[in-house]
Amino acid sequence: MQQQPPHPQHPPQGDPSPYQPYPQQGQPSPQQYPGQEHTAQHHPAQHHSAQHHPVPSYPGQETPVAQPDPQPRKQRGGRNLQAAIGVGVGLGAVIIASLFVVKALFLFVVMAAVVVGVWELSSRLTERKEIKAPLVPLLAGSVAMLSTGYWAGVEWAAASLALTGLAVMVWRMAAPPENYLRDVTAGIFTAFYVPFLATFVAMMLAADDGPQRIVLFLIVTVCSDTGAYAVGYKFGRTKLAPTISPGKTREGLAGGVALSMLAGALLMQLIIDDGSWWQGLILGGCAAVTATLGDLGESMIKRDLGIKDMGTLLPGHGGIMDRLDSLLPTAPVVWLLLAAFVGS
């Protein structure tokens, strides 16, 4: 009797199986045709668990290989780089125009930035922590501090800060006493942190070479941020403050200090009356340190509030306070060193 070939559902020993991709010599696969590559067959019991059917290939045709979907390139910090550059150029144009056309116009630019910054900070405190710092005395005190700092000097600016604190305390008395201490403390902190520190910019502007001092102050601060980013991006390995700002590195800090010192030495020698290059080295180094501390300080505030940015007014940058974070603590240091080196 002629032996019947085994049923294809039950291949004999040596026949191809799902775990044996090639048939033995002399035993052609029932699923293989001339010129066609062999593909593994599934057992009927495995039919329901198979996810994909084998795709046959033909002579001269390569089996397509699935390529992973390209991931969209994300920009650093999730920000729009083009918008950030455009806003930065626009702000620079406003600053230069107000500084060198009519010097007092720059004071109003600073006032506008401070007023918006106070509003952003107080709004975020209310939204995230239900802290209600009295806004009206804070805004009035901000204008008073900047005005007296520019036209009358540091003594009057300090007196304006004290009076603003008293006004905050009195204004808050109109509300129930619950959380009075918390709200007043937040208000006095806001008055010191934003308008009072910005008053030193107004006092730098009041000097005879005020526009040049402002340019020096802005450039050494920007160079600190730029140098820290460039060096940290390329060579950063050691985290500076991982729990506060994970992106900052010690190598980046060194790059920021170096670039700020270089810019300070050049500008102090070239644009400041009676300035010397070695004074610029000191000023640039100190400015880089305070700019970094200011950035870390605001990062602490934003982490405590659980937010990324203080606002959305400046596309690609965040809010006004997100641009003032390194400038505010640097202003009194630069003002003090300039007063010590070349006079106020």
**Residue at 26 is within a domain:** no
Predicted confidence band of residue 150 (pLDDT cuts 50, 70, 90): very high
Residue 273 has pLDDT above 60, yes or no: yes
Arithmetic mean of pLDDT, 83-96: 72
Q: Does residue 254 or residue 61 have the better pLDDT? A: 254
Question: Among 221, 231, 234, which residue's Cα sits nearest to residue 330?
Answer: 221
Question: Among 228, 161, 223, 225, which residue's Cα sits nearest to residue 198?
Answer: 161
Residue 298 has pLDDT above 60, yes or no: yes
pLDDT of residue 103: 87
Q: Residues 220-223: contacts with CB within 8 Å, 24+ apart?
A: 220/260, 220/263, 220/264, 220/267, 220/283, 220/284, 220/287, 220/288, 220/330, 220/334, 221/260, 221/287, 221/291, 221/326, 221/327, 221/330, 223/256, 223/259, 223/260, 223/262, 223/263, 223/284, 223/288
Structural domains in the chain (count): 2
Arithmetic mean of pLDDT, 31-39: 46
- For residues 137 and 179, membership in a common domain is answered with yes
- For residues 191 and 218, membership in a common domain is answered with no
Predicted confidence band of residue 43 (pLDDT cuts 50, 70, 90): very low
Please report which helix (H) or strand (E) contains residue 248, including its range.
Answer: strand 245-249
Single out the residue in 146, 172, 206 at which a domain terminates. Answer: 206
- For residues 264 and 189, membership in a common domain is answered with no
- For residues 198 and 236, membership in a common domain is answered with no
DSSP 8-state class, residue 193? I
**Residue at 334 is within a domain:** yes
**Residue at 219 is within a domain:** yes
- For residues 227 and 199, membership in a common domain is answered with no
DSSP SS3 for 245: strand
- For residues 225 and 341, membership in a common domain is answered with yes
Alpha-carbon gap, residue 161 to 184, rounded angstroms: 14
Q: Does residue 114 or residue 76 have the better pLDDT? A: 114
pLDDT of residue 318: 82
- For residues 236 and 341, membership in a common domain is answered with yes
* 310-328 as b/e: b if 16+ CB within 10 A: bbebbebbbbbbbbbbbbb
- For residues 180 and 272, membership in a common domain is answered with no
Residue 37 has pLDDT above 90, yes or no: no
- For residues 251 and 344, membership in a common domain is answered with yes
**Residue at 247 is within a domain:** yes
Residue with structure tokens 């808050």? 172
Q: What is the dihedral of CA 162, 168, 170, 173, to 10 degrees?
A: -150
**Residue at 54 is within a domain:** no
- For residues 188 and 214, membership in a common domain is answered with no
Residue 204 has pLDDT above 70, yes or no: yes
DSSP 8-state class, residue 206? T
Alpha-carbon gap, residue 250 to 228, rounded angstroms: 9
Residue 238 has pLDDT above 70, yes or no: yes
pLDDT of residue 92: 74
Predicted confidence band of residue 313 (pLDDT cuts 50, 70, 90): confident
Q: What is the overall mean pLDDT for the chain?
A: 83
- For residues 263 and 295, membership in a common domain is answered with yes
**Residue at 303 is within a domain:** yes
Residue 9 has pLDDT above 70, yes or no: no
**Residue at 149 is within a domain:** yes
Residue pair 200/210 in contact by the 8 Å Cβ criterion: no
Question: Among 192, 224, 209, which residue's Cα sits nearest to residue 114?
Answer: 192
pLDDT of residue 67: 54
Residue 16 has pLDDT above 60, yes or no: no
Which tens digits make up the pLDDT trace of 156-165?
A: 999 999 999 9
Backbone φ and ψ of 241, nearest 5°? -145, 80
pLDDT of residue 58: 52
**Residue at 22 is within a domain:** no
- The reported pTM is 0.75
Predicted confidence band of residue 48 (pLDDT cuts 50, 70, 90): very low
Predicted confidence band of residue 51 (pLDDT cuts 50, 70, 90): very low
Find the domain containing 145 and state its range: 103-206
pLDDT of residue 104: 87
Single out the residue in 206, 232, 265 at which a domain terminates. Answer: 206
Arithmetic mean of pLDDT, 22-31: 47
Single out the residue in 206, 237, 264 at which a domain terminates. Answer: 206
Residue 321 has pLDDT above 60, yes or no: yes
Predicted confidence band of residue 132 (pLDDT cuts 50, 70, 90): very high
- For residues 248 and 140, membership in a common domain is answered with no
CB atoms near residue 79 (< 10 Å): 15
CB atoms near residue 231 (< 10 Å): 20
pLDDT of residue 311: 86
